[in-house]
Every structure is written in C-alpha cells, then in structure tokens.
Structure 1
C-alpha cells in the first residue's frame, strides 16, 4: 500500500514577548523584518542594497533582532574574505496575544503600530508616483481605505475572520509567488470612543 507524502506541518506563530515587541518598534528593525518577510533570506550586504541604508547601520539592528529571537542566521556564505551570515525571520507568523497581557507589551505594541503605519505611508507615497502603480481592478497594488462605521458582534466577527483570511493569503502567496511583486498591506482596527447620547 503506497502512502502519499505527509504535508509539512503548518508553521506555528511565534508568540511574542513584550521585549520582542520592543525590539520590533524601531523603524530600521521593522524595515529589516519586512524585507526578510518579502525576500525570505538575505545577507547584511543584500539588505543594505535593498533598503538603501549603509551596511554599517544595519549590523546593530540585526544583532538586536537576533538577540530578541526574531531573526536567525540560517547559513554562512563564503565571499572570499570571510563568511557572510545569511539572515531569515524565525517565523513569518507572529502573535502578540501573550505580550498584550502586560502594560509594557501594550505600550510596545503601540510603538510597533506607529512604526508599521509610518512604513506603510512611506511605501504608499513612493508607490503612488510610479508608473507601475495600479489603483483599480483585480491587479490593484496601490490603495488607501479608511472606514468608520458601527459593527455589531456578528459584523465584528466577520471582519476579524476576513483579516485572518488576508493574513493567511499573504503567508501562502509568498511561497508560491516567487517572483511576484513585493507588497505591503497594513490593517489597523481600533474601537473609537462612543460619544453618542443615549
């Protein structure tokens, strides 16, 4: 009786600590993580070229991310002079649920959110001026949506399920897309004070 090969187990989310969230809050470190998410792995030199930053400015941030357990050295490439470390994220799927049980974790998540929103704004501003920007249709790669509305429990559950589907699609797509275009999608969901009079 022949067996079909077992599918690889689904990657588990890395459960972040408050300190790991703090390490992610820096804009340069977030840029490194985002680039590694898109590219899979890279050396410090490759990251320097792709991010447009001096290589010397990246070493400290890579060390901090590695010490925090967010990136790891997956191999060493021989370059003639000395081996170059090749970095990759420990996990593309992150969970801040445990860290948010502490006040420090929540403060650090606010800093991470500010860094992520800033990176998204810079990416949008750069992309919107490019000829490759597509603002409509099924190949849209540049858009802004700001929605303000009321949601009951069922609508909120549906919205959260759709956010989960977006995340899953991005994780699946990266492996299959190979040479696809790198994209940055940021979702911020927040309740706002209800000042409505009863």
Structure 2
C-alpha cells in the first residue's frame, strides 16, 4: 500500500477518478466513510458501532475505500489478543476536478450526486417522522429547498463563488463535538433539463 500522507481536516481533497466517486456512491461505503468522518480515526469495530452495522459487513467496503485512496491506515493498536488497524479519512472536504472532462468521470459525478440526494431524502424523512427534524419553526434544524431560476453567466459565477466561500468559511473553523447531533448537508447546483 502506498504511504499516503493524511491531510489536515480542513484541506480539500480532489477526487480524480470515477472509481473514487463510485466508492462514495455505494450506500454501505458512503455510510462507512461518513462514520469515519464522525470519528476522525477509528477501527472497523468503532466505525461499525457508530453507524449501527456489523464489523464483518464493513471489511469489503473498507478495502474499496483504501484501494481508491479515500481512507488511509493511520496505525495499529492492541485490542485484546490481537492488533487492530486504525483508519482515517484522507480529508473531510472532498471536491470534484472541474477540469476533468472524461465522460466516465462526469457520469460518476452525476451518479454520486443522485446517491447523495437519495440519502438526504431518506435522512430527512426519518428525522421528520421521528420528530428530530423541525421545519419552519424558530428551533428549525432541517432545511429543504429546491428551486429553479434562470441565471445569467455572471449570476451563476456569483452564486457559485458565494456557495464555495460559505462552505470554506464554515468548515475552516469547524471543530467536531461529541455533544453535537450529526446533520447531513447536501448542496447542489445544476442546469435544469
């Protein structure tokens, strides 16, 4: 396995291959990666506990994430009579390569986006049904917006820059807190059909 340096949590990692996007699009691999993001670093057993899965069901998905460079082995520690590997995400901020025009890469971006929106819809549905999500109240902790507007090239550039700035400004100083409840943040901007 290549010795890949672990990036700072606030440093952006550019996804360069369709395989990286496909790995993140698979529900079990995506859940594993997100569980690891929440932990920062952990063993398969710890990740499994954090996402409510069996450790044995995750090894195949961890191998996929390791193979495409989205997760790295951060070390080992003794656990009972054996050693267990510790894993870390390559970064907490992932971005696509805006210069990659390979049709397979572009299709993988679209597939990954579709998978992300399905996950967001399922999470919002569960949260609304069990009362954890509040929409439209002063204690609002869920927001679901979708709208279609005509944008000039300048307006599109301005909106994209504002979204990029908001994400970078917000995540730069973000510290993980064990007290906080996880929220799934999904943003999307695309030409309408």
TM-score, normalised to structure 1, is: 0.81
- What does residue 50 of structure 1 align with? 50
Measured on the aligned residues, the alpha-carbon RMSD in Å equals 2.5
Partner Cα distance (2:122, 2:182) in 1: 15
**What do residues 43-102 of structure 1 show as CA deviations (whole Å, max 9, x unaligned)?**
211221222222111000001101110001112222112122221111122232167420
Which range is displaced more, 69-78 or 133-142? 133-142
**What do residues 130-159 of structure 1 show as CA deviations (whole Å, max 9, x unaligned)?**
344232467532121111111122321222
Partner Cα distance (1:60, 1:165) in 2: 36
- What does residue 32 of structure 1 align with? 32
Partner SS for 2:146: coil
1:131 and 1:24, CA in 2 relative to 1: closer, same or farther beyond 3 A? closer
- What does residue 123 of structure 1 align with? 123
Partner Cα distance (1:10, 1:47) in 2: 21
Structure 1: 4+ residue segments shifted above 4 A: none
Partner SS for 2:168: helix
* Structure 2 unaligned regions, length at least 5: 1-7
CA contact (8 A) 1:120 1:184 kept: yes
1:115 and 1:173, CA in 2 relative to 1: closer, same or farther beyond 3 A? farther
Which is higher, the Rg of structure 1 or of structure 2?
1
* Structure 1 unaligned regions, length at least 5: 1-7, 194-198
